[in-house]
Structure 1
Amino acid sequence: MNMNLSVDTTATLKQAWLGIQKAKPGIRIRDAADALGCSEAELLVTTVGDYTTRLSGDWTKLLTRLPELGRVMSLTRNESCVLEHKGSFQKIDIMGELPMAMATVIGPIESRVFFKAWKFGFAVRQQSHHGLMQSLQFFDAAGNAITKIFLQQPIGNKAGSNQDAFDRLVADFTSDDQSKEIVTATVNEPFSKSIDEVDHQELLNDWSSMKDTHEFFGMLRKHQVNRLDAVVLAKNRFSHQIKVESLRLLLEKAAATKLPIMIFAGNRGNLQIHQGKVQTIRVMDQWLNVLDPDFNMHLREDQIASVWVVRKPTTDGVVTGIEVFDEKKNMIVQFFGLRKPGIAELEGWRKLVDELPIA
């Protein structure tokens, strides 16, 4: 089969997908979309009326309904990293108005939501070799997945998801438009100067004056600097590069010493956050994995271009993070020692980071 197949109609696309599924049983929809040269949402929408329902409405109101579902699995990813948490949505705060609204989700599932990027929504009820898989799936204007929420069956002493609540939510947000096509658009990245155009000294002056880690984003916007470029410009003052294999050591040592950490990964529409200890670290082919009962991380080591230790001054002392980038300068994932505002960073975290091999 031609895996670079050009498709221009829904019927052709759907037929091509069926062909790939036959040739590669169990292939994930994301990989099939890549093979067909389309977005995941463009492929999923061809199943509307079969096992998929288009959703529409106020996404902020839908998000605030997610606690009704009970225990679910929340999945957020980018090209190179996937985070999966099992638990319930609990405390959800909406800030601002659409389309610029944001949200914080705190509890067993924690995330920062940026609704400006939310474009398409679907409810999916699909039979698989694992049984019926039911989910809510959201995508940006380019058709790239933002986040997916999967219903869970009861296991042990853990209750399953609330099926009635799921059915009500889908009914309340079912779109009048149940067509099998969507129009995607290119999502442009914010403008940034080339690294040699950035005022190096002014950037470092502003960096040294930070009082809170959240000021970092404003500083990048002020200087119109790409994040990785800023980290490179701060080398030997606020940053230094470490080896890619450091991430394995980091997770293995954190697991062995029961050191609580934070992991941030996501995309333009959702940043999912893990807080706590990690236990089971496994490397499988190109994937570095955390495989714990209620938390999984899957990280493509082969897609990592550079790893940096980055230090930010705050009123609580220096905060040390590890930032991981791909070859396109995109942030893949970040790691921190577990901390709360008003509390200094864990000494055990700093010691662990200081021992990681320098690149």
Structure 2
Amino acid sequence: MTTTQSLKERWAAFKEQNPKTRIRDAAKELGVSEAELLATQIGETVQRLDGDFRDLLKEIPTLGYVMALTRNDSIVHERKGIYEKVSFNEHTGLVLGPDIDLRLFMSRWHFGFAVDENSRKSLQFFDQDGTAVHKIYLTDKSNEAAYEALVQKYHAADQTTPIVTIPYPEKAAEITNEDIDVQGFQASWLAMQDTHEFFGLLRKYKLGREQGISLAPEGHSQQITVDQLIKIFETVAQRELPIMIFASSVGCIQIHTGPVKKLVSMGPWYNVLDPEFNMHLRADQVHSIWVTRKPTKDGIVTGLDLFDKDGNSIALVFGKRKPGIPEMKEWQDVVNEVVAA
């Protein structure tokens, strides 16, 4: 087992040789979790936080204008704004501001740190296996005094005991299509009144998300390419259509609602580089993209589901909509045009 001191030394040597490598990638190279790597800096640039993170999150609005970051291995989702309407029902939380829009699953929030990287201050939260769940960065418009007060309030008394991460068991294998009630599943799909019912259908029929989408009724799902996805982004940007981009970690779903404007490809990354919203998508890690059409009481809802090679969800994309309001025809037109072409 690697001791904190030897890991600290290994990371120092790694950073010297790879100064531009981000900590998440460095952790993979060194065979440890990001939280373990970050914890080697406790007492220097990092402080460990303690207490009920639900209470801490209720105080994030005092920080004012910040940047929220949620990511998985294939996408980074960064949204600037103010945390508003923070609420919890047991271990499920919501942040429902017009800019910062989050769904929080607090059973996955195990470690918290206050981090000061070259005067760039942040609060960073991790799962029990050391994977990043959510990060909150101060901006030049943030209330730094409120940040310092928050860090002091939730500062852990014990800053010396090494953190202990616990890996999650591997995902169970999906059942084969031969063992699925496909007819029943398709009938249930066609009977949906709300897109949120889809999660229940997957549980009922014991399906993974991509597996379920692949078994949709005829005309309700089809695959497209990364080039077609990029064409959809370019078209909504040209037509100034507001869209919704969902990206999730194990403990947080972060949603951008609005237009996308500045689209830039840089090596394997496909980026949205707007003042309030940045998205960085590893296009080379997108293994499959599905257009889905789900019935609701407000009409068909058209979405894009992105998956990696292991069937993990990378991101979801929709036209801007709210319950009770039909989907924008302009969004349907863009998707249909690109699919047809």
User: Would the aligned equivalents of 1:151 and 1:161 in 2 still touch at CA under 8 Å?
Assistant: yes
Q: Distance in 1 between matches of 2:37 and 2:161?
A: 9
The equivalent of 1:85 in structure 2 is 79
User: What's the TM-score once normalised by structure 2's chain length?
Assistant: 0.96
1:309 aligns with 2:291: yes
The equivalent of 1:4 in structure 2 is none
The counterpart of 1:164, out of the listed 117, 134, 145, is: 145
Q: Tell me, what secondary structure is at the counterpart of 1:343?
A: coil
1:152 aligns with 2:146: no
Q: Distance in 1 between matches of 2:289 and 2:167?
A: 28
- In the TM superposition, residue 358 of structure 1 has moved relative to its aligned partner by 6.9
Change in Cα spacing, 1:205 to 1:235, as seen in structure 2 (3 Å) is closer
- In the TM superposition, residue 190 of structure 1 has moved relative to its aligned partner by 6.4
Q: Distance in 1 between matches of 2:11 and 2:179?
A: 46
The counterpart of 2:55, out of the listed 51, 58, 61, is: 61
User: Would the aligned equivalents of 2:190 and 2:217 in 1 still touch at CA under 8 Å?
Assistant: no
The equivalent of 1:187 in structure 2 is 168
User: What's the TM-score once normalised by structure 1's chain length?
Assistant: 0.91
The counterpart of 1:103, out of the listed 82, 86, 94, is: 94
- In the TM superposition, residue 48 of structure 1 has moved relative to its aligned partner by 0.5
User: Would the aligned equivalents of 1:141 and 1:184 in 2 still touch at CA under 8 Å?
Assistant: yes
Q: Distance in 2 between matches of 1:286 and 1:308?
A: 20
Q: Tell me, what secondary structure is at the counterpart of 2:290?
A: strand
The equivalent of 1:137 in structure 2 is 124
Question: 1:156-198, CA deviations, whole angstroms, 9 ceiling, x for partnerless residues?
Answer: xxxx110111011111111122126211112246654333322
Unaligned ranges ≥5, structure 2: none
Question: 1:193-215, CA deviations, whole angstroms, 9 ceiling, x for partnerless residues?
Answer: 33332211111111111111111
Q: Percent identity?
A: 46
The equivalent of 2:112 in structure 1 is 121
- In the TM superposition, residue 84 of structure 1 has moved relative to its aligned partner by 0.4
The counterpart of 1:177, out of the listed 152, 155, 158, is: 158
The counterpart of 2:264, out of the listed 282, 298, 303, is: 282
- In the TM superposition, residue 90 of structure 1 has moved relative to its aligned partner by 1.3
Q: Tell me, what secondary structure is at the counterpart of 2:5?
A: helix
- In the TM superposition, residue 150 of structure 1 has moved relative to its aligned partner by 0.5
Q: Distance in 2 between matches of 1:53 and 1:288?
A: 34
The equivalent of 2:309 in structure 1 is 327
Question: 1:234-253, CA deviations, whole angstroms, 9 ceiling, x for partnerless residues?
Answer: 16332011112112111111
Q: Tell me, what secondary structure is at the counterpart of 2:246?
A: strand
Q: Distance in 2 between matches of 1:30 and 1:180?
A: 22
Length, aligned pairs only: 340
The equivalent of 2:68 in structure 1 is 74
